[in-house]
Amino acid sequence: MAFPKFHSSSCALIKKYLTPGLYEQLAFLKTGTGFTLEAAIQSGLKNPDSHIGIYAGDAHTYSLFSAILDPIIHAYHSVEETFTHRPDIDQTNLSPLDPDKRFILSSRVRVARNLKEISFPCHITSQDRIQVEHLVSKAVQDMPGEGHYLPFTGLSPSRMQDLLCRKQTFPMGDRFQDAAGINRDFPDSRGIFSSLDKKFMIWVNEEDHLRVISMESSCDISRVFNRLCLGLDHLNTRLEFAFDKKYGFLTSCPTNIGTAMRAGVHIRLKKLEKNPSLLKHLVNQYHLQIRGTGGEKTSVEKGVFDISNKQRLGVSATQIIENLHAGITAILTAEKKL
């Protein structure tokens, strides 16, 4: 492939850092499972509004293509060149953020995990996808708190739509994931494990092999995080995850490496919605990120913001929860003052 031509309007980090010299050095390399730079950047080439524009096809991608991935990782995660993953994940005991339930609608913490030695979703074979589903559904069989695994294989589009409305499935990935190859064969070998109370879930074969999620309609971020920690303790004794001492947990999207954790709240901010510069200032001060009501690349509806941590690397899971708590406390103080 000739030097890739990114769209003139693209501000993606891949476009910024991929020089012709670097391209020449990397273009003919293949990971142990055959993943190439050409495959990694397809999403960035096809989607000019990509922020980073590159996906990893397996764990080896991070070391083999480190010359291009490291600068992108430094820039996205705002870490020094000497960055390293911070592994501590201790349960927390922080006070609920909004006990009167005036602002916070729900709290959610998720981590991404991929199984060791198996290609990541943009490069996985259908045979390996079946194997991932088999290993995960077996690992959750004796999960504390009961629950059950719902496989999507064989569900008709109308049944999928019905379950989606009831939030019992996840949809096919967006156009960024689609261009990366993540949506191939959807919904085969995908599925969700849910606890009986629906507060703990595992998405199987979505953007990563596992998305482990704890959520509830409350403002008690510590309780949500601690439930996630217990679920991870169970999985850690049954599954081996793709992990690197420096990069932490390895994920499809380099924005997720490190703790691979996103912790956030859905919060209604009617006053701050009209004062976006103050909200932006507070969000930046606490290393947080605003997403739309429906998540990544959606718009804010009825003043409901999704506010979560931006940094996942070089900061521990416990610190992420503490930063989120401090940031949301500051945002609530500002909202009440206005």
Contact 12, 6 (CB under 8 A): yes
Residue 264 CA to residue 252 CA, distance in Å, equals 21
Note whether 256 binds ligand CIR by CB under 6 A.
yes
Q: Which of 227, 255, 259, 312 is catalytic?
A: 255
What Cα–Cα distance (Å) separates residue 3 from each residue in 23, 61, 110, 176, 238? 7, 19, 37, 21, 44
Contact 239, 115 (CB under 8 A): yes
Nearer to ligand CIR, 103 or 249 (CB): 249
Whether 81 is catalytic is: no
Q: Scan residues 286-325 and list those touching ligand CIR (CB under 6 A).
A: 296
Residue from 253, 261, 263, 307 touching ligand CIR (CB under 6 A): that is: 253
Note whether 52 binds ligand CIR by CB under 6 A.
yes
B/e letters for 253-272, b = 16+ CB within 10 Å, e = fewer, are bbbbbbbbbbbbbbbbbeeb
Type and span of the H or E element at 248 = strand 248-249
Residue 142 neighbours by CB distance under 10 Å: 9
Residue from 51, 74, 86, 268 touching ligand CIR (CB under 6 A): that is: 51
161-190 mask for ligand CIR (x: CB under 6 A)?
---------------x--------------
Considering only CA atoms, which of 51, 107, 20, 164 is closest in space to residue 321? 107
**Applying CB under 6 A, which part among 85-93, 156-164, 249-257, 277-285 lies near ligand CIR?**
249-257
User: Which residues are CB-contacts of 95 (< 8 A; sequence separation ≥ 6)?
Assistant: none
Q: Which of 108, 110, 113, 129 is catalytic?
A: 110
Provide, rounded to whole angstroms, the least separation between the CB of residue 329 and ligand CIR. Answer: 26
Whether 207 is catalytic is: yes
Q: Which residues bind ligand CIR (CB under 6 A)?
A: 43, 50-53, 176, 207, 253, 255-256, 296
Task: Show which residues are catalytic.
Answer: 110, 207, 211, 253, 255, 262, 291, 296
